[in-house]
Structure 1
Amino acid sequence: MGTRQRGISRRSALIAAGVVGAGLTGAGFGWYRGVPRQVALRSATAAFTGPGSRALVDTADVAALYPGSRVLRSAVGAERLLRQEQEWFATGADWTLRPGRHADLLRCALLDLRVLLLPNGAALAGWSSPWRYVWPRDAAFAAAALSATGHLDDACRVLQFLDSNLPDEGWLESRYRPDGSGTPDARAKQLDSFGWVLWSAGQLAADWPGDAAELLQPVASLLRHCAAGSIAAVDNEDALPPPSPDYWEKREFTQTLGIAAPLLAGLRTAAKVLPMLGSAALGTEATRAAYRLQTAIHGRYGADGYPRSLGRRARDTSVAFLLPPFADTVHPDVAKAAAAARFGMARPAGGIAPGESWPQDGVSWTPQTALFGLTDAAMGDRTKAIATLDWLSEHRTSAGSLPEKVLFDGSPADVAPLSWTASTVLLTLAKLRKLT
């Protein structure tokens, strides 16, 4: 299980110096000139308190959980809930049940996804109240992770929830209430959702041993909508999508790679899956749009080293969205830019910040750190991928959940569990399995 760090461990210092975990970070403490930020850990995990009910569990109350579970001993029908959890875990892919270096990390990440998944398919970003909503981006990753680990029925329910909230026209909402009653506020819509949903559907299709068309038919309307929206977004003179909030969750006035790269991944997927669903013409349009967008990205963003914002220099995690498993091949200039971004985003505890221009507050973000581990695994670099997983595993909460942030001193902070990080870790483990 992960433990909360009280100081800068020797391992964290070595990782930050680039001695351990090659590829995680590449800078020592000498470059760091920021003021360390203190962020409280909201909870150690979330757990079932009864059939259909959940609660956050504080660090001091972790002993109240059944060991290795997300069930409180005091829960209503605790023994039955524990049995159901064990049975669910046992239905996963065979490789998820084997002992190994990251077996506990895998189990905890899977159980966190389960506790954050509601019966109607609402895959919540977290259980802390501001995160207790369904972001299409996070949900898409959760669906892909559930599929990769053998829980395909659950993965399908996640996409079906998004399909049930499909608007008649326009972009998907930035987030949805878990009961499916719409959006909780007037937060700006986020265009990258189209790309992530399509990419996720492609992952499910690849994992399914049977007829992929039969699997995806229940969400065909969702996929057509996302494809058409993506095509429309790049149907302009420069073939690039307009400014939109992305995973940074802030208003944008310039075009960002955080939108363009996911749309490219989605359009490539749409070109493959739409013909299976009887939409060959739309699939052909997606192919053409993907080619135009790819050319524009490598021409316009590539000219400046693939920065976050068009016409600027600072890179961010979105350069990783141009690498496998979001792309079929490795573009050498993208790989070079990703390595530079990783160096520029390095933080003292051993992880990375979302971008090179992010505040120098010493905070590592686990979703972004995990994403680079996933690209390493997808490109066949076991050493770097394992180093990233080791770091993430060592910086979990005392209940084993992956937090959103890790502070300068190695302490887990803010939200735990966090769906996006858990999903990305599981996808990384699935990729590593295929390398053995």
Structure 2
Amino acid sequence: MALPAHRCHPIRRGARQRPRRRRFTSAAFAITGHDTEAYQILQYNQQAQSSYGTWEARTKLDGSGPPDGQGGIDSAAAFTAPPFNTAPADLGAALDQTYNVLKRPNGGAVPGSGYNWGTDTWSHNASFFSLAWYGTGQSAKGGPVLDWVLSKRNNLGELPETVNAAGKPSSVVPLGWTDALVLMSLVENSSTPMPTPPLQQP
């Protein structure tokens, strides 16, 4: 089935980019044969990357920084690890720094810094790090995070989107995104981890 040509919509006043979400758009372009568009997104994200390897949760359209002037880092830094990408040499330090900033007292993690998320944490954001650490062979770090996520299952074994300050599920159940990340973490920690795409130059 032929796919329709993508459309460019007018940029609204106050528009902003979300590097984390754009990665999924890049993947969609790539698997549908739109390599040029996929690489344009990756090049933009590279431009918006900080010197220590992480990204703002939101940026201005030119990638120069957050639209509200409040800087921060994003849990999407974990996407630079296997099985999504071949890990850069300095990824370990970036993951540790990002997780330490985003971790909350209830054991979970928030999507990014520079914003008041309240007292809830997100199961999929914590799962990003379990997958990344398993993917880089750091099971001693990935294991406790995955255990925390799995401990939030309800009586039916379902995983919630968010967990409140008391450590109880507080939002959508089940969340397919978290389910997928947990499964990927388990596979990545097995004797047959998922293959990592080779580095490619645009």
Q: TM-score range by the shorter chain?
A: 0.7 to 0.9
Is 1:337 aligned with 2:94? yes
Which amino acid is the alignment partner of residue 402 of structure 1?
Answer: L
- Of 225, 228, 235 in structure 1, the residue corresponding to residue 36 of structure 2 is 228
Query: What are the residue-to-residue correspondences of 1:26-105 with 2, within 5 Å?
Result: none
Query: What are the residue-to-residue correspondences of 1:88-237 with 2, within 5 Å?
Result: 166-170=3-7, 191-197=22-28, 222-225=31-34, 227-233=35-41
SS of 2:78 mapped into structure 1: helix
Report how far residue 328 of structure 1 moved.
1.2
Report how far residue 233 of structure 1 moved.
4.3
Residue equivalent to 2:157: 400
Report how far residue 229 of structure 1 moved.
1.8
Measured in 2, the distance between the counterparts of 1:342 and 1:428 equals 17
Contact between 1:380 and 1:435, CA under 8 Å: does it hold in 2?
Answer: no
Query: What are the residue-to-residue correspondences of 1:365-404 with 2, within 5 Å?
Result: 365-404=122-161
Which amino acid is the alignment partner of residue 129 of structure 2?
Answer: F
Query: What are the residue-to-residue correspondences of 1:14-33 with 2, within 5 Å?
Result: none
SS of 2:116 mapped into structure 1: coil
Change beyond 3 A, Cα 1:413–1:165: farther
Measured in 1, the distance between the counterparts of 2:135 and 2:53 equals 22
Contact between 2:123 and 2:163, CA under 8 Å: does it hold in 1?
Answer: yes
Is 1:302 aligned with 2:50? yes
Is 1:319 aligned with 2:77? yes
Contact between 1:323 and 1:331, CA under 8 Å: does it hold in 2?
Answer: no
Contact between 2:74 and 2:113, CA under 8 Å: does it hold in 1?
Answer: yes
Measured in 2, the distance between the counterparts of 1:329 and 1:338 equals 11
Contact between 2:53 and 2:77, CA under 8 Å: does it hold in 1?
Answer: no
Which amino acid is the alignment partner of residue 302 of structure 1?
Answer: S
Moved more, 396-405 or 355-364: 355-364
Measured in 2, the distance between the counterparts of 1:428 and 1:325 equals 10
Report how far residue 194 of structure 1 moved.
3.0
Query: Where do 5+ consecutive residues of structure 1 fail to align?
Result: 1-163, 172-187, 200-221, 235-239, 242-259, 261-292
Higher relative contact order (CA 8 A, sep 6+): 1
TM-score by length of 2: 0.73
Which amino acid is the alignment partner of residue 115 of structure 2?
Answer: W
SS of 1:302 mapped into structure 2: coil
Is 1:430 aligned with 2:187? yes
Measured in 1, the distance between the counterparts of 2:7 and 2:40 equals 10
Could you list the structure 1 runs, at least 4 aligned residues long, displaced by more than 4 angstroms after superposition: none
Change beyond 3 A, Cα 1:374–1:304: closer
Measured in 2, the distance between the counterparts of 1:392 and 1:191 equals 25
Contact between 1:170 and 1:229, CA under 8 Å: does it hold in 2?
Answer: no
SS of 1:413 mapped into structure 2: coil
Report how far residue 395 of structure 1 moved.
0.9
TM-score by length of 1: 0.36
Count the aligned residue pairs.
173
Report how far residue 347 of structure 1 moved.
1.2
Query: Which protein has the bigger helix share?
Result: 1
Query: What are the residue-to-residue correspondences of 1:411-426 with 2, within 5 Å?
Result: 411-426=168-183
Contact between 1:194 and 1:229, CA under 8 Å: does it hold in 2?
Answer: no
Which amino acid is the alignment partner of residue 193 of structure 1?
Answer: F
Contact between 1:353 and 1:365, CA under 8 Å: does it hold in 2?
Answer: yes
Contact between 2:161 and 2:171, CA under 8 Å: does it hold in 1?
Answer: yes
SS of 1:429 mapped into structure 2: helix
Q: Compute the RMSD of aligned alpha carbons.
A: 2.9
Measured in 2, the distance between the counterparts of 1:410 and 1:194 equals 33
Contact between 1:351 and 1:369, CA under 8 Å: does it hold in 2?
Answer: yes
Query: Where do 5+ consecutive residues of structure 2 fail to align?
Result: 9-16, 194-202
Contact between 2:26 and 2:41, CA under 8 Å: does it hold in 1?
Answer: no
Which amino acid is the alignment partner of residue 364 of structure 1?
Answer: T
Measured in 2, the distance between the counterparts of 1:395 and 1:314 equals 27
